[in-house]
Amino acid sequence: MTRHTLRDRWLLMQIEAMGRLQQAARATRERIARAREESGQTPTEYLMIVGLMAVVIITVFVFFYWNNVKGAAKTWVSNVKQSVLGQPIMQ
């Protein structure tokens, strides 16, 4: 059985510490690489979500409240049409 001197033990501890640091650095690089692959939502995905929400809101509005606002909507459409055609708007 060999006896290690204090200096030898100290060198072994340093070598083990360096190995652990290298392993931690490798693991960190791998985590960063995975995080880059799993990027977040892009602006296109946000626009798709907003568009879907708008469709749902408009559908609910038309289904539940259309009878209440039908007259006002027809008047507004008529006023816009007259304005585009250059005719005076009737109130």
pLDDT in tens, the chain (91 residues): 466 788 888 888 889 999 998 999 999 988 888 877 666 667 888 899 999 999 999 898 888 888 888 888 888 888 898 889 888 876 6
Give a yes or no: residue 90 inside a domain.
no
Give a yes or no: residue 91 inside a domain.
no
CB-based contact 90:82 (threshold 8 Å): yes
- For residue 14, give the H/E element and its range: helix 6-37
Give a yes or no: residue 1 inside a domain.
no
Give a yes or no: residue 46 inside a domain.
yes
- Distance set, CA 30 to CA 35, 37, 40 (Å): 9, 11, 18
Count of domains in the chain?
A: 1
Domain that holds residue 52: 6-84
Which pLDDT score is estimated for 23? 92
